[in-house]
Amino acid sequence: MWNGSRGARLMVCLPLATLVLLSTVTASAVAQSQSTAGKGVDEWQFTLAPYLIFPWMDGKTSLRSYEVEVDVSPSDIFDNLQFGGMAYFEVRKAKWGTGVDILYMALGTDVARPSANVDMNQGAYTFQGLRELNDRVDLVFGARWNVLDGKIEFKGPSQLTVEQTRQWVDPIVGLKLRQPLGGRWHFTMQGDIGGFGAGADFSWHLFPVIGADVGKRATLGVGYRVLGMDYEAGDAGEAFKYDVITQGIIVGMAFRF
């Protein structure tokens, strides 16, 4: 079932089409080797990039017949953040590569009515393969494992605890573009779509970054990441829906070795 709105799909398809166009244009201009830190193209190349996201979330989520509007700002998230971990690791050799991206947030807060402690953990773990099409463009393919874990501990005489975990895997496909901007500056952008009814009905991801080399093996990057999910599961009695966009400014460092 394909439930992504027409407007959302159009908003995603246009940037992806732009990626395809840019890859065609830059293919004729590929004359420079971009081997990492002077390494040959047939040598192993490794990249580790820890980063920080300033996120906000917007959309709808529902359990059974209860629907909740999600509108959480970066200040709300950081006020209730218990733990967060974000990093990307990539291995390349010749025209092939593989990468793992980890985005995890553990949120917790106390509510007054009813008196309870609420914990919500969200993880998006992307496992992707890379195939170089030319020196500026990679084909991206793989899967994104999504995990939502919620727990409510009611205070008082009953001491009731309610927990629920939802997880699903979205196949993904997309492009990753690299473009030098002159000197030590460069631009990268990854766009992918996924789900296709195998996990979510539809998911999409855009991640543009402007980077500046601060040494032979390190790059400082600032970008913007948008991850949208439209997921439904369960029957009428246990129906669950998560139609939320998580987005925010990204700041990080990439280390090559």
pLDDT average, residue stretch 209-217: 95
Say what the pLDDT of residue 191 is: 96
Say what the pLDDT of residue 60 is: 85
pLDDT band at 194 (very low <50, low <70, confident <90, very high): very high
pLDDT average, residue stretch 48-77: 81
pLDDT average, residue stretch 48-67: 83
Give the whole-number percent of the chain exceeding pLDDT 70. 77
Question: Are 116 and 126 contacting, i.e. CB atoms less than 8 angstroms apart?
Answer: no
Q: Is the pTM of this model over 0.75?
A: yes
Question: Are 194 and 200 contacting, i.e. CB atoms less than 8 angstroms apart?
Answer: yes
Residue 36 reports pLDDT greater than 50:
no
pLDDT band at 225 (very low <50, low <70, confident <90, very high): very high
The Cα angle at residue 207 between residues 202 and 209, in degrees rounded to 5: 175
Domains of the chain listed by start with CATH number: 6-23+44-256 (2.40.128)
Which residues, in sequence order, are CB contacts of 21 under 8 Å at separation 6+? none
pLDDT average, residue stretch 188-202: 95
Q: Which amino acid appears at position 161 of this protein?
A: T
Question: Are 256 and 218 contacting, i.e. CB atoms less than 8 angstroms apart?
Answer: yes
Token duo for residue 10: 């159009």
pLDDT tens digits, residue range 132-167?
999 999 999 999 999 988 776 777 776 777 677 889
Residue 49 reports pLDDT greater than 70:
yes
Say what the pLDDT of residue 20 is: 43
